[in-house]
Amino acid sequence: MRILLLGYGKMGQLIDKLATEDGHTIVGKIHIDNRDELKSITRNEADVAIDFSQPSAAVENIKWCIDQGIPVAVGTTGWLEQKEAVDNYCLKNHGTYLYASNFSIGVNLFFKLNEQLAKLMNSQEQYAVTSKEIHHTQKLDSPSGTSITIAEGIINNLGRKTKWVNNESDKAEELEIISERIDPTPGTHQVTYSSTVDSIDITHTAHSREGFARGAIAVAQWLTHQKGVKQMSDFIDQ
């Protein structure tokens, strides 16, 4: 597989290392200082792109890939207010892309567990629910895209919560997300249901970034045979 990397920070570098070890070829490593190199890359040179860039660059990167006919797996967060427009652009131009707040297989299984637990707790109004995340201090967005996905999974299945807030809250309809930034934590997410008599916790703890990187590579390979706007659930449920 010939991979174009859009963004070459810690995740891009790790994907480069692991993909190369697995026998894939990196055809480009695009970052803020060499974006002009994109002009020389075509569909004939890249089978797929993986984007771990910056929120300010993600939309432009995705549209460029769609215009070139290159499927793209996007792990950059912080741009989702434009996602509906990007989805429409992809469909209109017969492109292929998948956005995921987290490419870790374990996290995506956690998403499903979180949704199922929220359904079970919907009738148990004695339980208050909160969400917490811990990431390294270089994590730019707060809450993380993963935390937002977790919050949406709760809100969509727990009738008493209608919105999330990134702070403590005493409003019954608000789901509070507490965000902490502590080095060198790769990422921990916890959902807690508490009553006066007991508590129920589900937690996902990443031991390193490798799970995110390997998930992105696996999704990218799958995406080369897909068409349209895809989700991680499409990949997980295949």
Catalytic residue check, 227: no
**Which of 24, 135, 161, 189 is flagged as catalytic?**
135
**Which of 10, 31, 136, 139 is flagged as catalytic?**
139
Catalytic residue check, 92: no
Alpha-carbon span 223 to 50, nearest angstrom: 10
Q: What DSSP line would sit under 104-164, residue for residue?
A: -HHHHHHHHHHHHHHHHHTT-TT-EEEEEEEE-TT--SSS-HHHHHHHHHHHTT-TT--EE
The residues, any chain, with a CB within 8 Å of residue 110's CB and separated by 6 or more, are 150, 189, 202, 204
Alpha-carbon span 2 to 23, nearest angstrom: 10
Alpha-carbon span 33 to 54, nearest angstrom: 13
Nearest to 120 by CA among 191, 204, 197, 196: 191
- In the structure encoding, which two tokens stand for residue 42, read together? 């075509």
**Which residues are catalytic, by number?**
135, 139
